[in-house]
Each structure stands twice: as C-alpha cells, then as structure tokens.
Amino acid sequence: MPGKLKAKIVAGRHLPVMDRASDLTDAFVEVKFGNTTFKTDVCPKSLNPQWNSEWFKFEVDDEDLQDEPLQITVLDHDTYSANDAIGKVYIDIDPLLCTEAASVISGWFPIYDTIHGIRGEINVLVKVELFNDLNRFRQSSCGVKFFCTTSIPRCYRAAMVHGFVEELVVNEDPEYQWIDRIRTPRASNEARQRLISLMSGELQRKIGLKVLEMGGNAVVGYLQCFDLEGESGLVVRAIGTACTLDKLSSGSAPNTNTHVHPNTAPASNACNSPSKDGKEPVFGEDLPSSSGPPTPFRALPTSSSSPPPFSPSKPCSRQSSSSDTDLSLTPKTGMGSGGSAGKEAGPLKTLLRQQTQTALEQREFPFFTLTSFPPGFLVHVGGVVSARSVKLLDRIHNPDEPETRDAWWEEIRQEIKSHAKALGCHAVIGYSESTSICEEVCILSASGTAAILNPRYMREGCLDIGSTDHRFEEPSPPSCGFCHIPYDELNMPFPAQLTYCYHCRRQKVPDVLFTTIDLPPEAAVTGKGCLIQARLCRLKKKAQGEVNATAISNLLPFMEYELHTQLMNKLKLRNMNALFGLHIQISVGENMLLGLASATGVYLTALPAPGGIQIAGKTPGDLSNEHHILTIQKRINDAIAKNKELYQINPPKLFALDPEVFCGINMELTEEGVGSPIPEPRQRSRLFRSHSESSDELSELDLSHGKKDAFVLEIDDTDAVEDIHSLLTDAHPPTGFYSCNTEIMPGIYNWTSGIQMFTSVRVFRLSNANLTNQGLNKIFTDLCENLLKSFYFKLRSMIPCCLCHLNFTVAVPEEELIQVTVTAVAMTFDKDQTQEKPADKPITKGSSETEEQLQFPLELCADTSSANTQPSSKISGVPESTNVSSRDRCSTWLELLRLKAHTIRRGSVKTISSLERCSPLPEGRSRSLRSSRSFGGSSVTVVKMTPLSFLPGIRIIKYLGIINMFFIRETTSLREEGGVSGFLHSFIAEVFAMVRAHVAALGGNAVVSYSMKECVLMENPNKNQAQCLINVSGDAVICVRETDQETTASMTNIGQTCSSGTDGAT
Amino acid sequence: MAVELDVFVGNTTIMDEEVYQLWLDGYTVNDAVKVRMEGGVMDECEASADVLLSDTMDQYRTFQMCERLLHSPAKLANQLLFQIPPHRQTVLIERYYAFDDAFVREVLGKKLSKGTKKDLDDISAKTSVTLKSCRRQFDNFKRVFKVVEELKGPLVENIRQHFLLSDKLARDYAAIVFFANNRFETGKRKLQYLTFQDFAFCAGQLINNWTVGAVDNMVEDMDVDLDKEFLQELKELKILITDKDLLDQHKSLVCTALRGKTKAFNEMEANFKNLSRGLVNIAAKLTNTKDVRDFFIDLVEKFIEPCRSDRWTAADMKLYLTHYTNSAHILDTFKHQVVWDRYMGVIKSCIFKMYHD
C-alpha cells in the first residue's frame, strides 16, 4: 500500500444550464480512481455550486498512481431519469509523485465534454502521500523526472548522461471495437481518451523503470507519440535520453541565465568586473576577467569534483519484461570497470576517441534525443543520418507482446547506427522518430545527427578529472571543433569538398553541414540565420497492400534526393553553409506523398563560403536559350546578393590558409573587425556593397581557395526550370521579421520579454482531379508560403520579432486534402542592439567561452605586440570610421574591444530599463490581482507557453512535471459551430485553456518545450459532423523575471510580468 | 482548389482593435476586408488580399466566440478559454457596450420590447448604422435594463460593477435605462435638435434629485422611479400662478433684479407670467404618467421656444432662471421652499443644457 491519494471537490462555476424549466442545474461530482468511486452531495439549483466536499481518500499502489489519471465527472442529478453528464476532468497525478515537483494540485479546471467542449469549471484539490517502498522488484518508477525539453533543463546539472531509452505499448483502439457500434460517440471518445491516458501512464512508468535500472533519475528529451493504426490498433511509443541530473542550488541557479543569452550575459559580467572602468589596457583586464566568471556548464567539470551521488549503474542488466529491443545486448565484461578514469589523462586524441567509442559501443543504441548539449560534450558532427521504412500494418494479435512494432523500430535504429558508423561517428544526437499512416501502409522514419561525443558525461568517476579533461581537449578549439570532420579524409563516406577550418585552420571541415540539432551556443556565426524549407509533392497511383507499399518505398529515395537538392539550392541562394534543426517529414496519402523539410540555415564562420549557383544549359550555341540562361543567372546572382544583405552575411575574408601568411590574415581580420562594428548602417552597407558588387572578384576569391566550384544547375528540361522558379519565388520575411525552426535565431541575442505562442492549421482541398506533380508542388509551396505570410501579418505588432521553433507538420487526411499544422513562438528582440550585435559578437563570444577560444585573439595581439603594449589610453567611446590607416589598425583593434565593452554595457542597461518600463503599469494591476485573489477571487493566473526550452528575460526556478494531454472533440452540429474552422478554432483554444489550467493548478506559470504532437481532423460536412484528436505535451515550470532574481517574486507578480511582457510586445 | 480550413490560435488571444471595431459596426467579412485594404494595412507587412481575408475571418471567429462572455463581462475576467491581458479585456468590454449616438437617439425613451426590436431595420436605414450593430446595441440596452431592474442600490454604480464599464459609459447606460423605464418622449420633431448627451445630462439630474434614491438609497428601483411623494408636493407650487398677488410680487422681484442687466429685459418682463405659468404647470402635472412622458416636450414648448423666439441668449436664460428661482424665496407667503428648490434645481440645469440650436 505505498500511496494514499486524496481529493477534495471545492466548487464549480459557470456550469451550463441542464434543466430548461428552471434554467439551473443540480450538480454533483463523481471522483474516480482505479475502480473506486466517491460522490459528492447534490448541490441543487445552482450554476455556481459550492460542494466543499470531504477529502476522498484512495489507497493505491504507486504503480496505479503512475498509470491512472484521477477522473472527475460532473453530473446533473435527475430524479426520474438517468443523470446527465456535464463533463469530465482528467488529472494526471504524476507530478505529485516527484518530491521535487509540485506538492499539491489545486485550482480551477475546465470541465470538458467531448461533444460540447468546455462547460464550466471545477475547483479541485489533490494531494498524494507516498510511503517509501523498499521493494527492489517494484514495477513503479515514482520519482523519475520527465522532461520534454531537449537540452539539460535549466536549474539542473547533468552529472551523467546514460543514453537512449525507448518503449512502446499497444492496444486495441476502442473506436474500432465491436462495442463502438452500440455505444454513443461520447462514450467511445471517453473510452479512447481514458485508454490513451492509461497507456501513456504505463509507458512513462516502464521507461522510468529502465532509467532506474541504468542508474539515472530523469528522462530528458522525452518524446511520446501515438500511432493511430486504425483497425490494427493503437500504439503509444516514446523515446528519451536517460540522465542523472543534479539540482543546482539556488545560489548558483541564477547563473543559468547566462545560458539563455550565451553570448551576451557573460560579456556583461565582464563589464561589471572591477576592471570595467576602461583605463587599463583592455587585453590585460577584460579578457581574463571575462573568462574568469565561468559559465555554469563550463564550471561543471571542476565543480563536480565531489563524487557523483549515484551508485554505479549497470546499463546492461536490463531485464524488463516489456518490449525491450535489446537483442544485441553487449556482455557485461565490456562495461567492466565502467570507464577507467585514469587513462584519460593521456593527451592523445585517438585514445580519447577509442575510449569514447568503447563507452558508446557498449550501448545498444548510442542515441540521444537532446538537441543542445553542455559545452564540451559535443566533439564533432558528421552529418544527418536518417532511415525510413515502409510497413504494412496488420492486426496486433497479442497486445502484451508487441514484437512486430518493436522489431520494426529495432531495424530502423540499427540502420541509423550503421549510417552513423559510416560517417565515422559513434553516436547519434538530435534523434527523433516518427510515423505516417494511411490506411494499412505505415512509413516509419528516424533521423538524427551523427556525432562524436566526449565520453566524460557518460561514465561515472570521470567527472573527477574534469580539469585534466579540460586541458586535454585544448587542441581542438571548441567553437569550431564540432564542424571538424569526424570521418577519415581519405576514406570519405560521401563526396564532399574539404578545406581547412576557417577558424582554427588546423582541421578539415566540409563545405556544408546538415544537422538535426540546435546551433551549439559556442558556434561562431556570421550574420543571421533563416528558415529554409524544401517542399515536395509526388503523385502515386492508388493501390492496395503490398503493391502500394512497394510503390511508396520506390518513391521515397527520389523524394529524399529532391528535398535534399532543394535544401542545398536554397541554402546556396541564401549564401549560407550549414543547416540546423533539419526535420524532414514524409507524409503518405492515398494518391500522393508529401515531403516537407524544414531547417534553419546559417553561415558558420568556420566553414568555407558557399559558392554561387551557376546555371548551365545543355545545348550551348542556342542563342535564345543562352539569353534565357543569362537572365536566370542574373536573377540568381541578384537574389544571392540581396540575401547577403538581408541576413547580414559579411564573412571575414580569409585569403590564405597558409600559416606563413599569418600576418596577412591578421591584417585582414583586423580590417574586418574594424569594418563591422561601426554601427552606422550606411557605412556598413557601403562596405558590404563593395563585396557583392564585385561578384567576379568574389569568384576569384573562391578560386583562390582552391577547388570550390560554384554549384552548377543544369536547365535542360522544364523540370529544372520549375525548380529554379520555385527557388526564386520563396518570399523573404518582411522587414523586422526573422524566422527559424531552431530554439533561437542564430545572430540574435538580445531578446526582450514579449512572446506569443500560436498554433495554426490550414487544410487545402485540391479540386482538380488530374493534377501534375508540378501543379501540386506549386500548391503545396504556396500553402506553406501563405501560412508564413499570414503569421507575419498577424504578428506585425510585435516587430522587431523572430518566429522561433517554427514546426510544420503536414498530413494528407483524405484523398484530396492537404493539412499543414504549425506551432511556433514569436519573440520580440531589441532592434537597436542587433545592429551593434554582429560587431560585438566575435568578442562577446570569445569572452563567453573558454580560454582556448580566446587563444586566437590573444595570439593575434601577441603578434602585433608592439602596438599592443602601448595601451590605447586615448580611447574615447566614439568609434572611428573605417578609413583608418593600416598602421593604426592594431590600436583600432584595441579600441574596438573597448568600444564593445561600452556597447555591451549600454546594452545591458537598456534591457533593464526596458523591463522597468513595462513594470509600472501592471504594478497596480498586480496588486489588485493579488487582493482579489486573496478574497477567494477569480482572477486567472497568466500562463505563458512556448515551444522553446526557455523564456527570454525570465528564469525558470522549478520544473513541476511533464504535461502530456490527449483530447478528442466531436461534433454533430458542424455548421452551427461555424464549420470546420469554427470547430477546430474553439477546440484548439480549449486545449490551450486546459493546459494552462493544469499548469496553474500545479502552481506553475509557464509551459516550456510545448508541442502539439498530433492534430488529426476528420470531417464529414455532408453529415454535419467532425472529429478531432489533439495531443500536446510540455514541461510545466515556475519562472520569475530575471530582474527579480534577488527577491523571491510571488506568483502573481510573475503572472503580471507575463502579461506585461505580451503587452509590451503589442 | 480552396482553403477548406484556416485557423490561427494564439496562447494570448490576438485581437486587432481595428477589426474589432469593424465587427462591432456590423461589417461582413468581405466588407471589412475592403475597408482594411483601403486603410492601407496591406503595405504594412507586404500582405496580400488572401492574408487579409484569412486574418479577418480568424478575428471575426474569435470575436464571435468571445461575444457570449461579453454578455456578462464579469465572466471575461475569470474564464479560462481565452487568455486576454486585463487592459485588453477592458477595451473589449468598453467597445462592445459603446453605442452610436444616432442610434440611441432613436430608441431613447422607447420600451425595450420585441416590438421595438422589429423596427430596428427602419432605424438602421434611417441612421445608416448596420442592422447587426443596431441589434447588438439594442440587446445591450435590454440586457443592462434587465439586470439592474432587480438590483438595489445606486443605478450608475450597479451598472458599472455588473458590466465593468467606465464611469462615463455607466452614466450613459443609466440614462438609457431611466428613459426606457419612464418612457420619456424624445422622438417628436421639436425635440429633434437635442442630442443624446443633452438627454443623458438631464437624466442624470433627474436621477440625482427627483427619484426615490435621492432621499433613500436602499430601495429597489430607487434610481429608476421618480419620487411619488415629491411629485404630489409639486402640486402645491401652483399657488405661484393661481395666487394673483404672489404672481405679481414674484414678477416685480424678478424684474427689479433683472433691470438693466440684459438686452432682453422687455421681453422677459412681458413674458414673465406666461413662462412662470408654463413651468409651474409642468410641475403640477407630473403626477400623471402621461405628462411625465411629455416632460421634455413641455419644457421645450412652454419655455424654451418662447424664449428662443425672443432671441434670449444663453446668458439671459441663466440670469432669468437664477433670479426667478431665488426671488421665490423672498416671497413671504410662499411656504414650499424645499420643494421649489428641488424642482427648480433640476429644471434650471435641464434648460441650460437644452437651450441651444
């Protein structure tokens, strides 16, 4: 009897009228957990009943506590006929099972009915008393924390990253059971909601068990999905990364905010250091001091010198009865000593690699669902690996033995693993899995980024030698290290052009880099990033069974290839050389396949500049054709030039790779440095134009780098012409807008607190029966482009702003329908600072990171030491113009640093003042809010939601648990509810409301890493019916405004901050 | 090929104030799009007509979903469906309950019944306020009327608290409720020159001085019904015109005070008895519901029009009424000073407000 669950029903409000005669309702409540049910008294004739019930107590196993939701049903009492249900509330009590998370659930919950939507609210109190269970063979895994966030959650520290955990459970879908023919839609929907809730509870518990067995205490990057396989059943599967997390003490926690603005925060620290007064030489003071206050993660190895609090894990001793796919369990001997720390002192990279490999190879799947890592964790990135497989669904005969589904995924994961190996990598990061189902065909997809990781975090004991480890890494400067190729140069897995890294000039880098992860915070980026999408439609014949599956799998490689080509072209067109957050979705419909690839393009300073795009005709000599080609070429060149300007891509000109010409590089660098920090846009653009106008000079430049040819596009057929057209038709975001699909926009660092999360759904009906691939492509492209345009328009009041984490999902719900669902967040930023920012970057970057990186600028000044030693005492805050004679360059370089310190300081002041500006107005309101609250008031806590793992300007102080909710809504009066749009609009609003209510009841005021996993809409306008399923998830958190750090801000205060934030944006 | 479904839902509900106004004004989606295009929003964000249409539809849908909540504004603050910042809520409510002066002028004093509602299309045609907007405004009047009907306490305060309106708007609604309850005639041609604000001011005066609430503030309907006892007492004022001596005495007192102070003195002297009779007769008849309804028309016919034809200036009017009221206090045989003050205080301010072109 390891737990006691207590629930109390306090009151209801805004109930619907259930008795037409009196215009009132006689409401009572049933509280059910497992098989036990309690009832409240009937509160007669009231739409705002006060039950104030006793505490209903359920004595249950913790296994049940994890699996089952608390079910609260509000009913209308009827003396003569059956009681009518008003609606239900399901409360997931999992957050109460973690000691660190919420201690009580208390608040107003919307009463939800699958037919009528939200019908009033109910105030509920829930508590859990857990007894310690010492049973080693227990089936529950209470206490394991789950996070949707795909990075180490703020306010935690990763003591160890154990690795991949996966699980799936299957069941029959109630919607397809025989009984569904006789029961009401409501009963059927509720059965389904309950089943899925149970299944996800069970799934989470089983994953938790695996984590405990591995010695971890948390799952990060938890990704749970549903496969509605129809007749053949219902699959709930999840993957995640098991970790051992330590909570950061409150003292050190504030530092985590540096992670939010990786490049600004430490820099401003530096300014606050005693040396800031600017009289001493900049180099002597600023740089060391800036590396002095270490970023929290950097501090990790040293601060963790105390022995890790966990007993050695036994990753291999998994013996769960469930659907383990551990066919290839490695023998325990391999693990043996767990990872001898002593060896690591040897400064040989090969040894490190060997060790890493052994550490990782012992894992069945060295996969990580994380997309962002503590500095030093990620060593090299190989590239994107993905695998797809087409399967025919058949009925799951025995739900307790879901081997088929397991085997399918096992197969795919093996393939991913071998791809990664081919890239010379031992791990896959940013890993995710997805499916697309149409009738009985199912496409299983998995993708990730092959990488080499530092094993430090994956073995215990190794954390002790943090400092040695630290030095040991030095040969590869971390800021560009991840770009260096992990594979053997002579034995490349794919044709790629390698050059020496533009940052350190020691290692080889590829010409382009595709990844599924977020941009590492230490990466040096030139200019800004942007969203890049490749969209593709392919018609296919309608077919059944095997034939259909074959047809689809034959089409897949072509689609992948074409999407890849599109991405590559668009990347080049934007003058960028790397993609982050790449997500390729292929969706199957009855008569077509849709492919959508989204990523954020950036110009990585460490990678070579992309060559242009060159158009070539196949039949030279044809004059008209030649002319045509010329015009297209011109348009493309123009577009590239324009993009360069738009994204402020102004890469440093590095002429030579030869170390002998170091001096030359030096000069070039300085010149660049001088050129860019000048805040005056006019001058910068002039400078810039000189770049773009002399395109031939550029190409010469390219040639001088050697072998980097322009990308050649042959237009020999209409297809290619179309491709080029589509290439050029992508509209740019309007002025003031940026967009990306990663956590944050590369190149923007000064976020202000205005955020707006949104979900948008569009369904397009293709009426033309005989469409061509091209026609479809155009429609699909327009659909996506128009959606983006709509967002820009709707959010125009937030300018300057950036749409972050734009997550597009496509589906083909019916034969002639294309559905696109987008969830994203718009975040405001300070425009003034951005203009200065690119200039600040190299230095702030340097200061925010490790010494290794600083080495470079330091070296630089050592070389020109003569100039350096005369400290630039003449420094004034005023920037000098570009035309500084070369003799003065070095001092200018110094001046520049000084200048940056100035701008940074100014910048930080600005942020604070802008925050203060927001506060006075809501202050009064917050007071009134608090007061109204204390009077048993009715005000609603503002809950912010974001798909990102953080909130700008706001610090997360506590994670309250995972939110994972599944809702079904059905209507038989579609027209009356405003058609499908009206129906879905209110449903999405209701889902948001229920998420917010649950978070508020847990005591939270924000949801981070929010995502809408599923939005399945089925409609039948002729029958006036529609049904929709939505699954959402995220992490409930308590957060406070960063300026309130010292004072413990009250909840209401936060609520106000949030609203003031959004106000400020509008 | 068509967009079959198109929704955009923000965690914080996005509402464009311009579109909200168009929606309130009863524009159809297509008309609203046209207006917005002419307004030049398109240039703002490189938007196309499609984008504008989609945005307008979304916003209209949001407003429709909110409308139910706006009917009882207190709910808006503690509902969970839409996350709307408090100041936004205030704007939403205030705008929803705002009305067109042209429209309210038409229904002012009319019974807020189904019958009136049926005539809304005529009013719509006459005032060129869209029928949809007329209906909303009419329903607002009716809703406020119904709610405050059953409440105790001061009318304006009740409206302000129940509908979370600004003080100004709450006062306007109090006037509308007051007029509807007493069915004051406001539609006659002679009253056409008066604006809603004129009437609202007069209503405020009447509510503050002539209702039951002016003496006792815990009665039901205290601010809606006129004080019956007071109306009875008003009959006593008749002595001012029936008693010949008193009338002459009053006239001579007023004339003495006015002499030399105004160009219109001669007209005032000549008309004194007529005007005085007019005002006192209005007072004496107010026990009749029918005459209460004609209160404003009587004021215009019996007092304002004669003065206007004699080309009194507003200052003349002020001067005359002040002395007319004050002189009555000096009449030693006139015993109804309190009633007189209560009556003339209101009459004075009403006439000042109503005396314009």
> Are B232 and B336 found together in one domain?
yes
Of the candidates A118, A757, A984, the beta carbon closest to that of B7 is on A984
Last residue of a domain, one of B73, B97, B121: B97
Specify the CATH number for the domain of residue B325: 1.10.490
CB contact (8 A) between residue A762 and residue B65 = no
Task: Look at residue B62 in the predicted model and tell me its pLDDT.
Answer: 93
B6: closest chain A residue by CA: A762
Residue B330 lies in a domain: yes
CB contact (8 A) between residue B61 and residue A121 = no
Q: Tell me which long-range contacts A557-560 makes (C-beta under 8 A, separation of at least 24).
A: A559/A586, A559/A593, A559/A595, A560/A386, A560/A388, A560/A584, A560/A586, A560/A595
Helix, strand, coil content of chain A in percent (nearest 5): 40, 30, 35
> Are B61 and B88 found together in one domain?
yes
Q: Domain total for chain B?
A: 3
**Which residues in chain B have their CB less than 8 angstroms from residue A766's CB?**
1
Q: Is residue B181 a contact partner of residue B224, using CB atoms and an 8 Å limit?
A: yes
Task: Look at residue A1038 in the predicted model and tell me its pLDDT.
Answer: 92
CB contact (8 A) between residue B4 and residue A796 = no
The pTM (predicted TM-score) of the whole model is 0.79
Q: Is A119 helix (H, G, I), strand (E, B) or coil?
A: strand
Distance CA(B201)–CA(B221), nearest Å, equals 20
Distance CA(A438)–CA(A442), nearest Å, equals 6
CB contact (8 A) between residue B45 and residue A938 = no
Q: Which residues pair with A714 in a beta bridge?
A: A616
CB contact (8 A) between residue B1 and residue A767 = yes
> Are B326 and B239 found together in one domain?
yes
Q: Which two tokens stand for residue B62?
A: 């949001």
Q: Please give the radius of gyration of chain A, using alpha carbons only, rounded to the nearest integer.
A: 29
Distance CA(A598)–CA(A583), nearest Å, equals 5
Close Cβ partners of B166 (under 8 Å, ≥ 6 residues apart)? B94, B160
Length of chain B: 357
Instruction: Give CATH superfamily name and number for A1-137.
Output: C2 domain (2.60.40.150)
**Which residues in chain A have their CB less than 8 angstroms from residue B57's CB?**
981
CB contact (8 A) between residue B1 and residue A779 = yes
If we measure between CA atoms, which residue out of B161, B157, B158, B140 comes closest to residue B149?
Answer: B158
Distance CA(B34)–CA(A1012), nearest Å, equals 35
CATH 2.60.40.150 in chain A, residues? 1-137
Distance CA(A510)–CA(A495), nearest Å, equals 10
Task: Look at residue A331 in the predicted model and tell me its pLDDT.
Answer: 32
**Which residues in chain B have their CB less than 8 angstroms from residue A1062's CB?**
12, 85
Task: Look at residue A981 in the predicted model and tell me its pLDDT.
Answer: 93
**Which residues in chain A have their CB less than 8 angstroms from residue B92's CB?**
none
CA angle centred on B342, ends B337 and B343, rounded to 5°: 95
Distance CA(A629)–CA(A616), nearest Å, equals 7
Q: Is residue A577 a contact partner of residue A612, using CB atoms and an 8 Å limit?
A: no
Of the candidates B7, B78, B86, the beta carbon closest to that of A761 is on B7
CB contact (8 A) between residue A942 and residue B51 = no
Q: Which two tokens stand for residue B152?
A: 């105790």
> Are B324 and B236 found together in one domain?
yes
> Are B142 and B161 found together in one domain?
yes
For A148, phi then psi, to 5°, come to: -80, -25
Q: Is residue A838 a contact partner of residue A747, using CB atoms and an 8 Å limit?
A: yes
Of the candidates A121, A758, A796, the beta carbon closest to that of B80 is on A121
> Are B264 and B337 found together in one domain?
yes
Q: Is residue B323 a contact partner of residue B254, using CB atoms and an 8 Å limit?
A: yes
B15: closest chain A residue by CA: A794
> Are B43 and B114 found together in one domain?
no
For B316-331, the pLDDT digits (tens) are 888 888 888 888 888 8
Alpha-carbon separation of residue A245 from A249, A313, A700, B84 (angstroms) = 12, 14, 52, 37
> Are B159 and B263 found together in one domain?
no
For B96-154, the pLDDT digits (tens) are 999 999 999 999 988 888 888 888 999 999 998 999 999 999 999 999 999 988 787 88
Q: Which residues pair with A29 in a beta bridge?
A: A74
CB contact (8 A) between residue B9 and residue A760 = yes
Numbers of helices and strands, H then E, in chain A: 25, 31
> Are B237 and B183 found together in one domain?
no
Task: Look at residue A697 in the predicted model and tell me its pLDDT.
Answer: 32
Residue spans of beta strands (DSSP E) within A425-524: 427-438, 441-453, 498-500, 508-510, 513-514
- Tell me if chain A has a CB within 8 Å of the CB of B6: yes
B43 or A476: which carries more pLDDT confidence? Answer: B43
CB contact (8 A) between residue A734 and residue B82 = no
Of the candidates B45, B47, B87, the beta carbon closest to that of A1063 is on B87
CA distance B88 to chain A (A): 9
Question: Which positions of chain A have pLDDT values less than 70?
Answer: 1, 99-101, 132-140, 180, 249-363, 395-402, 456-478, 490-495, 617-624, 651-729, 768-770, 832-938, 1043-1066
CA angle centred on B230, ends B228 and B233, rounded to 5°: 115
Say what the alpha-carbon torsion angle A644, A646, A648, A653 is, to the nearest 10 degrees. Answer: 10
Residue B218 lies in a domain: no
Give the domain range for residue B292. Answer: 228-354
* Angle subtended by helix axes A545-573 and A718-729, to nearest 10: 60
- Supply the DSSP string of B15-82, one letter for each residue: --HHHHHHHHTT--HHHHHHHHHHHTHHHHTT--HHHHHHHHHHHHHHHHHHHHHHTSHHHHHH-SS-
Q: Which of residues 12-31 of B touch A (CB under 8 A)?
A: 12-14
For A709-766, the pLDDT digits (tens) are 455 666 555 566 666 666 666 778 888 888 999 988 888 888 888 899 999 999 998 8
- Tell me if chain A has a CB within 8 Å of the CB of B39: no
**Which residues in chain B have their CB less than 8 angstroms from residue A14's CB?**
75, 79
Quote the mean pLDDT of chain B. Answer: 88
CB contact (8 A) between residue A734 and residue B45 = yes
Identify the burial level of B309 via C-beta atoms within 10 angstroms of its C-beta, where 0-12 means exposed, 13-18 middle and 19 or more buried: exposed
**Which residues in chain A have their CB less than 8 angstroms from residue B5's CB?**
761-763, 819, 979-981, 984, 1017
- Tell me if chain A has a CB within 8 Å of the CB of B87: yes
Task: Look at residue B23 in the predicted model and tell me its pLDDT.
Answer: 96
- Tell me if chain A has a CB within 8 Å of the CB of B44: yes
**Which residues in chain A have their CB less than 8 angstroms from residue B55's CB?**
790, 793-794
Written as one letter, the residue type at A516 is T
Close Cβ partners of A20 (under 8 Å, ≥ 6 residues apart)? none
Task: Look at residue A1035 in the predicted model and tell me its pLDDT.
Answer: 94
Displacement of CA A212 from its chain's centroid (Å): 26
If we measure between CA atoms, which residue out of A245, A252, A196 comes closest to residue A224?
Answer: A196
Report chain B's terminal Cα–Cα distance, integer Å. Answer: 60
Last residue of a domain, one of B188, B210, B243: B188
Displacement of CA A1064 from its chain's centroid (Å): 25
